[in-house]
């Protein structure tokens, strides 16, 4: 576990961070509908837990930390519904909602982690008027995520030499978290500290998180970015344009194997081939110490329609068969550093990761 010198980075906190994907307001959960970006900016107001679970499953909200935060607020809505229907016996009614929330998507561990933490708040809550305590816990999860992201931003940025080019995958910014971002938070902080020459975002097929979300978020914050097709990443590395590939994580096994958006593994293989460094940025809530290696991580497979259509446009013949794994696992041996809010783990293995428990 290392703690780099971040004294020249902390000014980066002032870098623009204008977007919030998850907000609690007017006693409802507001989610920015990320399926519609960048064409349309529309917030949905959700009033019960099943609606939150559906929004997570249908990717209205996505990104491991953001779906954990959304689920935490979803627990608040579940408890409210329990109180309305059953008064002081509200606890007897909430279990189906909690199960719905924690199983809405399978790969990211933050979802189960957030619901588990809210369960402890449920146990500690009073029989009457429990909502304020539960809302405070959900807000704490949200606020701690932003604070963790800012800390990871400082720690990760300190690893990046001045004048570096960086490539990121998927969206790991404010849209994927409570705010600021994980991998994109590091890039945001390093940009703020003047260390970045060029930021490249790959488009991240099939869901186009890079093209639709990362490009949008960075442009919104006034940070220059160049978009590339996923398959141009190796040419970029061959030409020496990037020194770091920086990605988030959906679940990190106890040995450092990292599940993340499909394509992450391909970038890690190519980065190693080219001597480009590979950084994973994730809060410690993403580490699943109960899972020994990546082999134990369930990989969600989503509908092939995400591949055969391009946004609303058809990209392939009707009825073509498609395989659409949503994640892959990058072995720890291909990772140069895992950056968490508690410190940096260089060349992760079961021993140095365990120091974060």
- Contact residues toward its own copies (CB under 8 A) are 38-39, 200, 202-206, 208, 211-212, 215-216, 219, 224-236, 238, 262-263, 265-267, 269-270, 272-273, 304, 307-308, 310-317, 319-325, 328
Nearer to its own copies, 97 or 328 (CB): 328
Nearer to its own copies, 299 or 354 (CB): 299
Q: Per residue in 230-256, is it b (16+ CB within 10 Å) or e — as a string?
A: beebbebbeeebbbbbbbbbbbbbbbb
Q: What is the length of the chain?
A: 357
Min dist. Cβ of residue 339 to its own copies (A): 23
The dihedrals phi and psi of 33, each to the nearest 5 degrees, come to -75, 100
26 annotated active-site: no
Distance CA 60, CA 44 (A): 9
Nearer to its own copies, 90 or 244 (CB): 244
| 8 Å CB contact between 145 and 177 | yes
User: What is the residue-wise DSSP string for 79-129?
Assistant: HHHHHHHHGGGGGGG-HHHHHHHHTSSSS-HHHHHHHHHHHHHHHHS-SSS
Nearer to its own copies, 21 or 155 (CB): 21
Min dist. Cβ of residue 290 to its own copies (A): 23
Q: Which of 250, 257, 328, 336 is catalytic?
A: 250
| 8 Å CB contact between 248 and 280 | yes
Min dist. Cβ of residue 321 to its own copies (A): 5
Distance CA 31, CA 308 (A): 27
Min dist. Cβ of residue 222 to its own copies (A): 13
Q: Count CB atoms within 10 A of the CB of residue 143.
A: 13
Q: Point out the residues that are catalytic.
A: 250
């Amino acid at each position: 576990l290392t703690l780099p010198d971040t004294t020249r980075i902390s000014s980066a906190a002032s870098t623009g961070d204008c977007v919030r994907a998850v907000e609690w307001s007017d006693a409802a959960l507001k989610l920015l509908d990320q399926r519609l970006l960048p064409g349309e900016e529309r917030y949905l107001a959700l009033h019960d837990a099943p609606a939150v679970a559906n929004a997570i499953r249908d990717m209205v909200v996505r990104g491991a930390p953001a779906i954990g935060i959304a689920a935490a607020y979803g627990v608040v809505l579940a408890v409210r519904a329990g109180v309305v229907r059953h008064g002081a016996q509200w606890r007897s009614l909430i279990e189906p909602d909690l199960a719905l929330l924690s199983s809405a998507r399978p790969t990211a561990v933050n979802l189960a982690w957030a619901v588990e933490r809210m369960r402890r708040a449920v146990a500690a809550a009073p029989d009457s008027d429990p909502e304020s305590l539960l809302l405070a816990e959900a807000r704490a999860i949200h606020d701690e995520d932003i604070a963790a992201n800012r800390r990871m931003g400082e720690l990760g940025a300190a690893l990046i030499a001045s004048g570096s080019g960086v490539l990121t995958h998927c969206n790991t910014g404010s849209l994927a978290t409570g705010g600021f971002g994980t991998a994109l938070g590091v890039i945001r902080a390093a940009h703020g500290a003047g260390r970045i020459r060029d930021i490249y975002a790959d488009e991240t097929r099939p869901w186009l998180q890079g093209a639709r979300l990362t490009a949008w978020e960075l442009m919104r914050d006034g940070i220059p970015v160049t978009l590339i097709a996923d398959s141009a990443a190796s040419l970029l590395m061959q030409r020496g344009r990037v020194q770091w590939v920086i990605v988030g994580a959906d679940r990190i096994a106890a040995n450092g194997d990292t599940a993340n958006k499909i394509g992450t593994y391909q970038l890690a293989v190519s980065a190693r081939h080219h001597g480009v460094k590979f950084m994973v940025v994730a809060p410690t809530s993403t580490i699943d110490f109960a899972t020994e290696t990546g082999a134990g991580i369930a990989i969600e497979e989503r509908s092939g329609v995400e591949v055969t259509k391009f946004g609303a446009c058809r990209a392939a013949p009707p009825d073509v068969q498609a395989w659409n794994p949503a994640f892959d696992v990058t072995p720890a041996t291909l990772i140069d550093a895992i950056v968490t809010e508690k410190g940096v783990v260089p060349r992760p293995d079961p021993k140095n990761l365990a120091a974060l428990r």
